[in-house]
Chain A
């Protein structure tokens, strides 16, 4: 590598960061905001993985399905609150159906069979959602102003702020539910040890239905945010692929991990795209998150906050 190109890769981006701190701060905050959105999708994964050990690949398509249902209902003239209620009911019904049809017969199967089952579920829900609601791009208007606001010299998008507040509220509610309510304690018990939890009389199947319902509602919130940001369309299910590196970076079993992982990935991705992207022809957002997660994992194979993996022979 010549001196010039190594300068361009190793020095120039940092010079750029230092010379215009406001722009850099804007990039970082923008990244944080995207990270929050990733975290909202990753949260659903973590909830399900903790309680039932299922790596739910269908979370992304659940986001799409929830958003499609909501928008579809609103297009039929229902008021927002009614559409929200009906969509929530639909997601809970979906959780019941999944538990009964998919999870119960597959109990005690290796994690990969379960993963593949959720991929099968992905196809199914994709087809179903588009069959019922059509496949054209839909707009979801929440009435949140898009105009940027000035915070300490930085221009921030109001919508992003609303998303961040929503995500924070969601996490706070989830934390409250899991710490203070009996169903939350039961959830944590099941996550800790399935057998011991059943032994003290916690009904496993009810817990699964609950956790899939909660994940469905989280998917709905994520779907509303993403749908309002980029329109409700098929590509929404692809954000699952963006949530995966967030997950493994944060640790599959940790809710704070999903949030911190989301923020790290969001910021890292933005910085890399803005400062290093042009050097290699751009569009590195697609794989950079994975590489970042991969490098992290080499040092901490269980992710940042994941449970330490202890192996015995």
Chain B
């Protein structure tokens, strides 16, 4: 009854092409954004922002990037962690070399550098497909990790081998470094996610997104109807790596503050892949839901026994956590292989007809 588009007529092409054609959706999204921008920074405490919301937002940025590549263009990549590392290390090198440069500009530039690296490692995708490609992209992951570990230039010859985000201001506010408050960092991350999600949504419903999907569905057929596999696949790799690079820079500057390559190892690549598979391949919303799921579940599992009052030894709870996490992934894959975004869609359909069964 509440969620029904009856009586909402589309009179112009503009209305027809709106991202949220239904009024209720627009109201919902506006409310969500209002809550995220105003209520959350006022209400949430340091722990919530630092341990849950900021990592969630940054992961959803990386998941968006990978979903563009894997979900829309059909090229599987296990090199996400590596591309994130490129973003983080580039941002670090740039901001230490040019301290005066605007920090947001630096984030975007490091995204561009990651895009260039992604382009190079995307070249094999022209020859290799499917699972072979997935394994081949691991080359990017391992090579980049090795490079950032072995070449001291990347961490400014710091004896500890870590890179640390220096304090930088944006619009008069401290956004990075030890003095930046969690609320400010949260707002910066949130803005990045909102803008990048909007860009991604528009990318995938424009010509470039349609060519990606054509390549994904069958690249030989796509090539025959005049889509260039070279440019299409490589743009997908570049755009995806751009997103991942920015996400990596944000991990360093907004979330951890100080990282070594371990923060971007192979597990990160798998985690981001989990996010888009659990959330839904080929869905912008799915990337974000998946990121929320994968970020929050382990935190929940760690804290649940303590909340209930059980005192479980750390190593035991770590193993149980792994079992439950693996089990949940299997469960969700079996129950809804299309991802959580699909459940949301089904829910909306049901809501439209409510209270009638069909």
Task: Indicate if the CB atoms of B329 and A123 lie closer than 8 Å.
Answer: yes
Q: Mark A281-313, 1 if CB is under 8 A from B, else 0.
A: 111101100110110011001110000010111
**CA A113 – CA B151 in complex, angstroms?**
37
**CA A248 – CA B135 in complex, angstroms?**
7
Q: Is A147 an interface residue (CB 8 A)?
A: no
**CA A125 – CA B327 in complex, angstroms?**
10
Task: Indicate if the CB atoms of B143 and A298 lie closer than 8 Å.
Answer: no
Q: Mark B200-227, 1 if CB is under 8 A from A, else 0.
A: 0000000000000000001011001000
Question: Using Cβ atoms and an 8 Å threshold, which residues of chain A touch B320?
Answer: 127, 131
Interface size on B, residues (CB 8 A): 49
Task: Indicate if the CB atoms of B150 and A283 lie closer than 8 Å.
Answer: yes
Question: Using Cβ atoms and an 8 Å threshold, which residues of chain A touch B134?
Answer: 115
Task: Please indicate which of the listed interface residues A116, A131, A280, A313 has the most CB atoms of chain B within 10 Å of its own CB.
Answer: A116
- Nearest B-chain residue to A122, judged by Cβ: B326
**CA A121 – CA B270 in complex, angstroms?**
13
Task: Indicate if the CB atoms of A112 and B76 lie closer than 8 Å.
Answer: yes
Q: Which of B14-22, B122-130, B187-195 sits within the interface?
A: B122-130
Q: Is A244 an interface residue (CB 8 A)?
A: yes
Task: Indicate if the CB atoms of B124 and A294 lie closer than 8 Å.
Answer: yes
Q: Is A142 an interface residue (CB 8 A)?
A: no
Within 8 A of A (CB), among B89-108: none
Question: Using Cβ atoms and an 8 Å threshold, which residues of chain B touch A312?
Answer: 220
Q: Is B266 an interface residue (CB 8 A)?
A: yes
- In this complex, the interface size class of chain A, counting residues with CB under 8 Å from chain B, is 35 or more
Q: Is A241 an interface residue (CB 8 A)?
A: yes
- Nearest B-chain residue to A282, judged by Cβ: B150
- Nearest A-chain residue to B322, judged by Cβ: A127
Number of A-B residue pairs having CB atoms within 8 Å of each other in the complex: 142
- Asked whether A290 and B325 contact (CB < 8 A) given A112-B76, A116-B274, A127-B319, the answer is no
Give A44 Cβ to nearest chain B Cβ, in Å: 16
Task: Indicate if the CB atoms of B319 and A130 lie closer than 8 Å.
Answer: yes
Q: Mark B322-351, 1 if CB is under 8 A from A, else 0.
A: 111111111001100100000000000000
- Asked whether A116 and B329 contact (CB < 8 A) given A127-B323, A135-B315, A290-B139, the answer is yes
- Asked whether A131 and B319 contact (CB < 8 A) given A248-B135, A252-B131, the answer is yes
- Our pick among B146, B321, B322 for the contact of A287 (Cβ within 8 Å) is B146
- Nearest A-chain residue to B139, judged by Cβ: A290
Q: Is B165 an interface residue (CB 8 A)?
A: no
Give A99 Cβ to nearest chain B Cβ, in Å: 13
- Asked whether A302 and B224 contact (CB < 8 A) given A120-B327, A131-B316, A131-B323, the answer is no
29 contacts between A and B (CB under 8 A): A55-B131, A106-B334, A109-B333, A109-B337, A112-B277, A115-B131, A116-B277, A116-B329, A121-B330, A122-B326, A123-B329, A124-B322, A126-B319, A127-B318, A127-B320, A131-B316, A131-B320, A241-B138, A244-B135, A245-B135, A283-B149, A286-B145, A287-B143, A287-B146, A290-B143, A291-B139, A297-B136, A298-B127, A301-B129
> Footprint of B on A, CB under 8 Å?
55, 101-102, 105-106, 109, 111-113, 115-117, 119-128, 130-131, 135, 241, 244-245, 247-248, 252, 280-284, 286-287, 290-291, 293-294, 297-298, 301-303, 309, 311-313
> Footprint of A on B, CB under 8 Å?
70, 76, 124, 127-132, 134-136, 138-139, 142-143, 145-146, 149-151, 218, 220-221, 224, 266, 270, 273-274, 277, 281, 315-316, 318-330, 333-334, 337
